[in-house]
């Protein structure tokens, strides 16, 4: 969907009309580049004079955005009250989450913006109620450097990384949501005319439009203290830094304030930055389109599957209740660590003391209960690393967990290695944006390095544990059993001589 963008020079007028106050700051081209050698820099908030919070009792306010233009739950309820088209859209498709309703609202604002800027008045339809976001959306970038907006060739660069499955699943979800939107709105007359009419004067709505709306929301939303996500106009132009010089506050009256951090001295022309939160390199790339090289701690998240041959795998997955995953950290000293609560549950058997029971509730429904050593641990299925402490077979249980982790890391390293050839064929070609290529290659290198170190460290732990008497006896018995089950193994040497 095409609509005419607004130049940055029009932002002061929009801010004045909507009571957004800049205090000794302006929006200008950013001096920060987090996407490689990017010559097309984003916008940022810049100081117009020297500012200081050194020894200050009251921290200087840099930006004040009124509550009535903050895109959140209350704003959406108000728009539903005054805009019959949004109400109709929300009743047909929305109502499941604030995030999805906000994306529907942004999609409607794109439609309003297109109608407001249409060069063919006869094709304009009177859709929606104009509001501050109908204009503000025209300041938002058409292209966001997040992987969901990459070309298929660019997405291939992420093969073997921790983002590969996440991106695939996200694209499937976006496509499914778009088809659901079409199915539930195609019979609504104004939706059919604006979005779905193939032979009409307006270009039909495309999947790429829905992907853009999702990218806007994901890359620009903030979380307030209640856990609610909101989009704050103008504040969403403040760029990220691992060492920010400001932070934002949600005041009692609902306004959003950008405030200088304590003990900061900034010259005129300095860029104001906030922290988007401590996230892995893959998360930053997925949500914001950059990798922060200043972060001293690297990390990645991998899905973890229950053991395929485990007869209790379905019960374990259900009892755990969350998506099983491992988070692997690469520290600034070159060492690694990992956190995977599920792996300690995955490696347990009934003979170790693990038991599942189905209990019938008063209302007739059934619930799954988990017992460890005859104690109900249903609410602590992510605490088995602690629960196995002191168990007579603790060393063996940890040995199993380490082997599962080593296998998972080895599998990921193999995936990265297997995708190298196809990645090489795409490098420096015209089909791949240079900044996208730089980010993808940096992520591949970071994850390869972290996984390699983690694999070596876990191997050392396994080697050390294998010297413990209980484990060495176990390994010996396994070798004897294997040799007994496969007698031809003894004849291999004779076959070689013959």
Chain centroid to CA 292: 15
How many separate helices (H) and strands (E) can be counted in the chain? 18, 18
Q: Return the pLDDT at 295.
A: 82
Q: Return the pLDDT at 33.
A: 47
Average of per-residue pLDDT across 251-279: 93
The H-or-E segment that residue 259 falls in is strand 256-260
Q: Return the pLDDT at 38.
A: 40
User: Quick one: pLDDT band at residue 129, thresholds 50, 70, 90?
Assistant: very high
Q: Are 376 and 387 in contact (CB under 8 A)?
A: no
Task: Give strand ranges (E) for 285-353.
Answer: 298-303, 325-330, 336-339
Token couple for 339: 């956190």
User: If phi over 0 gives left and psi between -120 and 50 gives alpha, with beta otherwise, what is residue 112?
Assistant: alpha
User: Quick one: pLDDT band at residue 282, thresholds 50, 70, 90?
Assistant: very high
Q: Return the pLDDT at 477.
A: 62
Token couple for 467: 């010297």
Average of per-residue pLDDT across 129-145: 95
User: Quick one: pLDDT band at residue 360, thresholds 50, 70, 90?
Assistant: confident
User: Quick one: pLDDT band at residue 39, thresholds 50, 70, 90?
Assistant: very low
Angle made by CA atoms 171, 233, 91, in degrees to the nearest 5 = 55
The H-or-E segment that residue 410 falls in is helix 394-418
As a whole number of Å, the CA-based R_g of the chain is 28
- 125 vs 244: which has the higher pLDDT: 244
Q: Return the pLDDT at 478.
A: 59
Kindly state the percentage of the chain with pLDDT values over 90.
74
Q: Return the pLDDT at 119.
A: 59
Q: Return the pLDDT at 482.
A: 44
- 365 vs 437: which has the higher pLDDT: 437
Average of per-residue pLDDT across 427-453: 91
- 441 vs 476: which has the higher pLDDT: 441
Query: CA-based diameter of the chain, in Å?
Result: 93
- 118 vs 131: which has the higher pLDDT: 131
Domains of the chain as residue ranges with CATH: 8-274 (3.90.1410.10), 296-467 (3.90.1420), 468-498 (no CATH)
* pLDDT of 94 over the 80 cut: yes
CA distances from 238 to 44, 235, 383 (A): 5, 6, 39
Coil, helix or strand for 328? strand
pTM of the model: 0.87
Average of per-residue pLDDT across 152-168: 96
Q: Return the pLDDT at 489.
A: 42
* pLDDT of 257 over the 90 cut: yes
CA distances from 449 to 147, 329, 417, 424, 483 (A): 22, 11, 12, 18, 37
Q: Return the pLDDT at 122.
A: 52
Kindly state the percentage of the chain with pLDDT values over 70.
91
Q: What's the chain's length in residues?
A: 498
Query: How many CA atoms are closer than 13 Å to the CA of 470, on its beta-carbon side?
Result: 11
User: Quick one: pLDDT band at residue 37, thresholds 50, 70, 90?
Assistant: very low
Distance, first Cα to last Cα, the chain? 74
Q: Return the pLDDT at 467.
A: 84
What rounded mean pLDDT belongs to the chain?
A: 89
Q: Are 60 and 267 in contact (CB under 8 A)?
A: no
* pLDDT of 377 over the 90 cut: yes
Q: Are 11 and 22 in contact (CB under 8 A)?
A: no
Which of 22-36, 185-199, 253-267, 289-303 is predicted least confidently?
22-36
Q: Return the pLDDT at 49.
A: 94
Say which residues have a Cβ less than 8 Å from residue 168's Cβ, sequence separation at least 6. Answer: none
* pLDDT of 57 over the 90 cut: no
The H-or-E segment that residue 179 falls in is helix 163-185
User: Quick one: pLDDT band at residue 486, thresholds 50, 70, 90?
Assistant: very low
User: Quick one: pLDDT band at residue 484, thresholds 50, 70, 90?
Assistant: very low
* pLDDT of 490 over the 50 cut: no
* pLDDT of 234 over the 90 cut: yes
Nearest to 282 by CA among 165, 415, 421: 165
CA distance 226 to 217: 18
User: Quick one: pLDDT band at residue 31, thresholds 50, 70, 90?
Assistant: low
- Report pLDDT digits (tens) over 83-92: 999 999 999 9
Q: Are 345 and 320 in contact (CB under 8 A)?
A: yes
Angle made by CA atoms 124, 127, 133, in degrees to the nearest 5 = 110
């Amino acid at each position: 969907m095409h609509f005419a963008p607004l130049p940055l020079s029009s932002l002061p007028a929009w801010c004045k009309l909507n009571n957004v106050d800049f205090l000794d700051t302006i929006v200008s081209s950013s001096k920060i580049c987090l996407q490689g050698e990017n010559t097309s820099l984003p916008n940022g908030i810049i100081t117009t004079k020297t500012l200081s919070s050194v020894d200050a009792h009251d921290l200087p306010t840099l930006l004040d955005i009124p509550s009535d233009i903050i895109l959140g739950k209350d704003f959406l309820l108000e728009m539903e009250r005054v805009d019959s088209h949004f109400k109709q859209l929300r009743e047909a498709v929305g109502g499941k989450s604030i995030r999805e309703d906000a994306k529907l609202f942004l999609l409607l604002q794109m439609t309003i913006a297109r109608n407001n800027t249409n060069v063919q008045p006869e094709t304009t339809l009177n859709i929606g109620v104009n509001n501050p976001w109908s204009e503000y959306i025209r300041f938002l970038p058409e292209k966001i450097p997040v992987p969901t907006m990459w070309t298929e060739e660019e997405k291939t660069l992420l093969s073997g990384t921790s983002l590969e499955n996440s991106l695939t699943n996200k694209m499937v979800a976006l496509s499914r949501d778009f088809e659901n939107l079409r199915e539930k709105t195609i019979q609504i007359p104004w939706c059919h005319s604006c979005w779905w009419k193939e032979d009409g004067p307006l270009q039909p709505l495309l999947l790429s439009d829905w992907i853009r709306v999702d990218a806007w929301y994901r890359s620009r939303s903030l979380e307030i203290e209640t856990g609610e996500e909101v989009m704050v106009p103008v504040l969403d132009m403040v760029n990220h830094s691992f060492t920010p010089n400001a932070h934002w506050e949600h005041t009692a009256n609902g306004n959003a304030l950008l405030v200088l951090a304590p003990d900061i001295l900034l010259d005129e022309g300095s860029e104001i930055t906030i922290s988007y939160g401590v996230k892995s390199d893959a998360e930053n790339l997925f949500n914001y389109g950059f990798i922060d090289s200043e972060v001293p701690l690297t990390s990645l998240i991998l899905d973890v599957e229950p053991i395929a041959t485990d007869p209790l795998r379905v019960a374990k997955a259900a009892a755990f209740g969350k998506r099983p995953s491992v988070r692997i950290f690469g520290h600034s000293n070159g060492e690694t660590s990992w956190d995977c609560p599920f792996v300690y549950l995955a490696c347990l058997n009934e003979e170790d003391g693990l038991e599942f029971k189905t209990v019938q509730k008063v209302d007739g429904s059934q619930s799954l209960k988990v017992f460890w050593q005859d104690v109900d641990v249903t609410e602590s299925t992510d605490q088995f690393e602690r629960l196995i402490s002191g168990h007579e077979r603790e060393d063996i249980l940890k040995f199993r967990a380490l082997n599962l982790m080593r296998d998972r890391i080895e599998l990921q390293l193999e995936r990265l290695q297997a995708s190298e050839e196809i990645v090489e064929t795409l490098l420096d070609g015209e089909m791949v944006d240079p900044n996208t290529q730089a980010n993808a290659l940096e992520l591949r290198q970071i994850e390869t390095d972290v996984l390699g170190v983690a694999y070596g460290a876990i191997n050392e732990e396994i080697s050390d544990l294998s010297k413990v008497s209980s484990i060495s006896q176990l390994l010996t018995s396994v070798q004897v059993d294997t040799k007994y089950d496969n007698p031809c193994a003894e004849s291999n040497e004779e076959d070689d001589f013959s």
